[in-house]
Amino acid sequence: MTTIRARFAPSPTGWLHVGNAYIAVANALFARHAGGELLLRLDDTDTERSREEYARGIEQDLAWLGVAWTRVFRQSDRLAAYAEAADRLRAAGRLYPCFESEEELATKREAQRRRHLTPIYDRAALAMTPEQRARAEASGRKPYWRFKLSSGEQIWDDLVLGKRRVKLAAVSDPVLVRADGSPLYTFTSVVDDIAEGITHIIRGEDHITNSGVQRDLMTALGADADAVRLAHRPLLLDAEGGKLSKRLDSLSLRRLRADGIEPAALFAYLARLGTPEAFEPASFDALAASFDFAHMSAAAPRFDPAQLLALNRRVLHAASYEAVAARLPQGADRRFWEAVRGNLDLVAEARPWWEVVTGELSASLPEEAAFLRQALALLPEEPWDGDVWGRWTSALREASGRSGRALFHPLRLALTGEEKGPELRTLLLLIGRARAARRLAAAAG
């Protein structure tokens, strides 16, 4: 039986973005659902833009998010395999040298546009004689190498988008090897997918044409292109329906992590984005169990930070003390966390409540002075039990004749300095009698 094997293949030329993570999550969930493997491949053959800090950052960000892989490798370690594959294509007459400069190619494309033609490469290099090639090289020009596409078209049943068709005659022969001998992504990706026995490729819809080209290249290298199933997901839009720019650092995983987004919230959000399923907290295993290509929409989904924050809130409300203890203020215990977590969007928002519990406040409510002195006089002596709030407010209600907001709002302002927040029943126990008494007295003036 063929082992199901998927791959996530980012380029270490920048920090991982939510658009990348959207694809990584789909690959991870599919691999788990199918009982297969997920490989992490770092496409780092672009030596000018690839950086080691980005490569390390990708692995760190994926691990934080909860995406696990079976094995990781880098394309820069496989240059010999690419060179051997290129030699085979040359021998088969499918890889041919070209000498045009970028300026010459741009001029050709512009001329084609003026004639209302599709601006694709005209294969002029194929008409060069050996003598012309020799003269070009003697003049100092080094050739780059293009793959000669087949005639006809590539057709496949996409797992997300349905039947897809790429007419190869409408596509330029792709450059596979630069003039300096370095291989390009279109080429290296196919060589690796064949070598690693990749069975499923899940990636963005912007790769549709590229997939047609790569299927033709795969066949030229002696592999069965139909043995690899393709799933192209529509690219994410922003909340307003515009293109989601990968240049926005605010949507890098690194920034979202620094801003306090919980990895479980982001993972669940990306897992359900583009499906009809509700955004709700769910474990990796639960999300993998419900994974289904049939549930993925062919329409572009919108990445809405407000939706993510709402899901983050739900994740925090259910989070255990152990899960967040290292990120809470020093001294904050389980009682504190359980008291405040229902009022937080982010863990960092616990700190102001810790200051409310442990610090000194100086609220001034002169219009409520008489009521607050009455409240101070009726404040029970310690030791306090869990029902101290109920006993205190019952006595105060009877003595003052107040109820509802008239009773509770002045107490909240005096004790916390805030209009709303966690239940005072729980906060009062954390504040303690001495601090509560000082606050009531200070607010009364």
Over the chain (445 residues), what is each successive 10-residue block's mean pLDDT? 93 95 98 98 94 97 97 97 98 97 93 92 95 92 97 97 97 97 96 98 97 98 98 94 72 94 98 96 97 96 96 97 96 96 96 95 92 97 93 97 96 96 96 96 94
**Tally of CB atoms within 10 A around 85:** 24
Token pair, residue 347, equals 């863990």
According to DSSP H, which parts of 98-175 are helical? 102-114, 130-138
Query: Which of 333, 264, 360, 250 has the alpha carbon at shortest distance from 65?
Result: 264
Number of Cβ atoms within 10 Å of the Cβ of 68: 13
Neighbours of 192 (CB within 10 A): 20
* Largest pairwise CA distance in the chain: 109
- Count Cβ atoms below 10 Å from residue 342 Cβ, excluding itself: 14
Token readout for 159 is 């797992």
Which of the 8 DSSP states describes residue 183?
Answer: B
Q: Determine how many CB atoms are found less than 10 A away from the CB of residue 9.
A: 22
Give me the pLDDT at residue 395, please: 97
Please tell me the total number of residues recorded for the chain in this structure: 445
**CA atoms of 376 and 32, how far apart (whole Å):** 60
Provide the total of helices (H) and of strands (E) in the chain, helices listed first.
19, 10
**Alpha-carbon span 221 to 190, nearest angstrom:** 9
Sheet with strand 5-8: strands edge to edge = 71-74, 37-42, 5-8, 200-204, 229-233
Task: Select from 109, 53, 79, 51 the least CA-distant residue to 184.
Answer: 79
Residue 187 near residue 85 (C-beta atoms within 8 A): yes
Single-letter amino acid code for the residue at 398: E
pLDDT value at residue 243: 86
Q: What is the set of domains in the chain, with CATH numbers?
A: 5-73+186-233 (3.40.50.620), 80-177 (3.90.800.10), 249-322 (1.10.1160.10), 323-358 (no CATH), 366-444 (1.10.10.350)
